């Protein structure tokens, strides 16, 4: 039999015979598609193979007991790893389940996937300004790293303020018949960007970064 009772804040707790669930956070609460890990210690925790597996499993809420069965290690070890993940903000409490006199904590990952920011490397982080060859692949990688670091930090501030960060991205594929076609495309794209920048840039406006990148598509091997 299923009954419902409203608490003082208008939330509903359902009673399922011997099982009582106390909802801590609504299940439809926004979970980030991607979260950027900026802290070095949090990055080390997330990169541990067992903890990384637990993060994948916690895309759907789970308890230590259910995770132990799926991952194949003891519940005590799962709890140890979950405490580390929770301490670094990588998992959070979804609900409390009470089985008789026992309270079971159900956790979930704070994001569907994670990216480690170069900021986690502190002084060793990549810096585009240090690249000598601005036509090199390494310079492009450095630019991509800066995008992760800056947009990750800005997104975190926007989330904290309850705002949406204004961004845009274009992702497409172009098949060039020859190196000459690729060079001609680059020349035309550069001219178009310079024209648009001249029309829309204002010295008293809010600065935005514009990064345009192109590279051969990586052929995935099976």
CA distance 138 to 191: 24
pLDDT digit string, tens, across residues 20-53 = 343 334 344 557 888 999 999 999 999 999 999 9
Quote the CA–CA distance of 163 and 157 in Å, as a whole number: 9
- What domains are defined for the chain? 2-115 (1.10.10.10), 117-200 (no CATH)
Q: Give the residues across from 40 on adjacent strands.
A: none
Query: Residue 183: is it exposed, middle or buried by C-beta count within 10 angstroms (0-12/13-18/19+)?
Result: exposed
Greatest alpha-carbon pair distance for the chain in Å reads 74
pTM: 0.73
Average pLDDT value over all residues in the chain: 85
Q: How far apart are CA 139 and CA 119, in angstroms?
A: 17
DSSP one-letter string for 29-55: S--EEEEEE--HHHHHHHHSHHHHHHH
The string of pLDDT tens digits covering residues 179-210 is 999 999 999 999 999 999 999 999 999 999 99
């Amino acid at each position: 039999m299923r009954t419902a009772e409203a608490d003082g804040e208008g939330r509903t707790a359902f009673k399922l015979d011997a099982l009582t669930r106390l909802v801590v956070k609504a299940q439809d609460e926004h979970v980030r598609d991607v979260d950027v890990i900026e802290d070095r210690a949090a990055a080390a925790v997330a990169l541990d193979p067992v903890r990384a597996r637990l993060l994948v499993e916690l895309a759907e809420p789970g308890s230590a007991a259910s995770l132990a069965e799926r991952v194949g290690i003891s519940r005590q070890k799962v709890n140890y790893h979950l405490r580390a993940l929770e301490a670094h903000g990588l998992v959070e409490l979804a609900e409390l389940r009470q089985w008789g006199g026992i309270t079971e904590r159900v956790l979930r990952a704070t994001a569907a996937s994670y990216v480690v920011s170069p900021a986690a490397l502190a002084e060793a982080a990549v810096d585009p300004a240090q690249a000598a060859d601005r036509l090199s692949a390494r310079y492009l990688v450095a630019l991509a790293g800066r995008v992760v670091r800056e947009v990750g930090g800005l997104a975190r501030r926007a989330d904290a303020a309850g705002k949406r960060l204004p961004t845009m991205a274009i992702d497409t594929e172009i098949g060039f018949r020859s190196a000459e076609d690729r060079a001609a495309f680059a020349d035309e794209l550069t001219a178009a960007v310079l024209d648009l920048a001249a029309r829309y840039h204002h010295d008293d406006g809010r600065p935005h970064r514009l990064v345009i990148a192109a590279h051969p598509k990586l052929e995935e091997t099976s």
